[in-house]
Amino acid sequence: MPCQLISKFYRINPASLVEADRLGDESLVTGPSDFVALLKPRAGIVVATWDDAEQLGCASRLGIVTGMSPGGAKVRWALTDAKYRPNPSGRRYWKQAKPFFGFAADVAARYLLAAAFYDKFPGDIAFDAEAPRSVKATDAHPYANPTGGYVYLVKSQYGIKIGKSVNVKSRTRLFEVKLPFPISVEHYAWFDDYSHAERMLHAKYHDKRLEGEWFDLSAADVAHIKTLGKPVAAASL
């Protein structure tokens, strides 16, 4: 199911989410029943808590509804550490007793939710470039079987996005089509464990996070990131 067909985005508090048949990155969402009743195939789910001290929505998982069954909604999941800063009128939805709500279209666009979902579900995006196979990652691998790929910097009027992809050309082409503002690719490099590399950069620049995976990076920050990983010539992408 292509990510670009996501029809609606919802937030739910993880404490209220009820799941069954959990296997790998998929599960059957069975509750709350009134939340499940809203879901349809191609809906996007943001599992997030509310940090009242920081006035931030803190997401831990993103999910795509892949199908419906009599028992609930079938969902494919990906981990995230995205943060969302609602405006004063939007905070009431995060703070309300009801544990879920649907994002308004303009809010979903401001949070760049479509771009976040594209980043977290690379298996739904076609690519044909062959990746280099003998490059060592800059950081130690946290897992026995890491996945190789690219960590990239994309610049826009809203900041710089630190993202990952198995193919930068396919990913940025999607952004150019879907995002309502111009972007430019500032940098990309190969890591044997691209998920770990991206996660370490998100943690390093946590205090400069704007929305989702967009950061207010300085020229020095960008220069440092460019020293990491294995730079790859554009012709090889």
How confident is the model over 25-41, as pLDDT tens digits? 999 999 999 999 999 98
Regarding whether 102 and 7 lie in a shared domain, the answer is yes
pTM of the model: 0.59
Give the domain-ending residue among 100, 122, 144: 122
> How many domains does one find in the chain?
2
Domain interval for residue 53: 3-122
| Average pLDDT of the residues in 79-90 | 88
Phi (first) and psi of residue 191, to 5 degrees: -130, 140
Regarding whether 106 and 40 lie in a shared domain, the answer is yes
How confident is the model over 50-62, as pLDDT tens digits? 999 989 999 999 9
How confident is the model over 149-182, as pLDDT tens digits? 889 898 888 789 898 887 766 666 656 545 666 7
How confident is the model over 118-131, as pLDDT tens digits? 767 755 433 233 33
Regarding whether 160 and 115 lie in a shared domain, the answer is no
CATH code of the domain containing 31: 3.10.590
> In this predicted structure, what is the pLDDT of residue 170?
64
pLDDT band at 144 (very low <50, low <70, confident <90, very high): low
Give the domain-ending residue among 103, 122, 141: 122
Regarding whether 52 and 35 lie in a shared domain, the answer is yes
Regarding whether 82 and 106 lie in a shared domain, the answer is yes
Cα separation, 217 vs 25, whole angstroms: 32
Give the domain-ending residue among 86, 107, 122: 122
